[in-house]
Amino acid sequence: MRPTAGGTGLLGRWEALDRPLAQFPRWAAALVLTLLAVAMAWSAFAAAAVDRAERAQITAKAEAQSAARSAGHGAGNSAQKSKGDIALYARIAERVSAGEDYYAAAMSEQRASNYPTRPFVAVRQPTLAWLQSICGAGGVRYLEMALVLACLWAANARLTQLVSLPERLGALLLLALGGAAVAVPTAGLIHELWAGLCLTLALLLYRRNCWWPALLAVALAMAVRELAVPFVLLWLAFALAEQRGREAAGVAAMLALFAAGMGLHYLGVEAGRLPGDPISQGWKALVGYGLPLMAVSRLTGLLLLPISIAAPLAILPLIGWAAIGGRIGMFAVLWFAGLATMMALFARPENFYWVQLALPAYGIGLAFAPRGLFELFQGAAGRASRQT
């Protein structure tokens, strides 16, 4: 049985619908199915185009580095750059573990590898490196494994009252498969993986009468990756819309604490910057929604499929999350759509890993997609029955 709705506004009315897609009038169900079909057909071409562009960019960089080495120019820097972000973070963590100041190590390594240090967010927050200095990258990976287990426990508890047993088992399987990324030896060095696991845990942990554990999980995400902030802003908007003053105050206080921390981070980066340091090319690529779809296709089990098939399937979890309704369903849909929009507007093709902030939570929605599609087809055919 679905929990009682928490308000009388739009959110409260949505939560009062036990199976929201089943309540759509015939014209609305038909419209959603039409838009879904168009989006899936479009995605096959859009995501493939972004995938080709990103791979071509990698090839071009590799050829340029090879030419530079052949000419005897910048061989050291090019070789380091070719190892990628993970190698950069590993070198920084190694120096911090040896007792060096994080900002001295990070600025030195990014400068040596021709990585930008401006704006200051181009330098990762020090939290993960500090954690690695305590327990090592392998230790961080074990902590991520613990986060996966916590997500499984929270999902089982949260979904028991929302979905059927087969759907819940399917969701747990998808969550476990999505969390399998922690098995990669370098998982402890990936900031977005940590943040995505924490945000997934926060989404599943939230209860109106006990929201502080979710806030702690969100804090762990923001401490490692500032891109988790939109999740918290959405939470604040929900709390304000529901007139939950104490909860809104708690979320606002967490945002204020994060802002103070980012201010200190800015000062740390500025103190170590040199006049000739590289500057980021910016985040206004306007690549479009093909980018997040390509990213989901590449960073989940959909990687096993051709991208022309994987990209359309990557849309279906959104229908699944909408189908279960309630606060969790609406919040999830708005969060995932917002992150996809942020990537479409600001991310460059090589920033496709941003989508990990939605994983493994996004993939869970695939377990509920059959329910959503069935209800939409039933509604479009005029056979939907109102539940009492």
Domain spans of the chain?
A: 7-52+281-388, 78-275
pLDDT along the chain (388 residues), means of 10: 53 75 93 97 93 76 56 40 76 95 96 91 96 95 98 97 94 96 94 98 96 97 97 97 95 98 97 89 81 94 93 97 93 97 92 95 97 95 57
Q: Which two tokens stand for residue 258?
A: 């994060």
Residue of 173, 188, 86 lying closest to 130 (CA atoms): 188
User: In whole angstroms, what is the distance from residue 329 CA to residue 319 CA?
Assistant: 10
Q: What pLDDT was estimated at residue 278?
A: 87
Is the distance from CB of 202 to CB of 217 less than 8 angstroms? Answer: yes
Coil, helix or strand for 279?
Answer: strand
User: In whole angstroms, what is the distance from residue 77 CA to residue 111 CA?
Assistant: 9
Is the distance from CB of 297 to CB of 307 less than 8 angstroms? Answer: yes
Q: Across the strands, what pairs with 118?
A: 279
> Residue 118 to residues 206, 233, 249, 262, 264: CA-CA distances in angstroms?
36, 25, 33, 14, 15
Q: What pLDDT was estimated at residue 84?
A: 82
297 phi/psi in degrees, rounded to 5: -65, -30
Whether a cis peptide bond, with omega within 30° of 0, leads into 119 is: yes
Coil, helix or strand for 260?
Answer: helix
List the alpha helices (DSSP H) in 113-190: 127-159, 165-178
Q: Which two tokens stand for residue 358?
A: 């939605």
Is the distance from CB of 293 to CB of 314 less than 8 angstroms? Answer: yes
pTM of the model: 0.91
Q: What pLDDT was estimated at residue 276?
A: 86
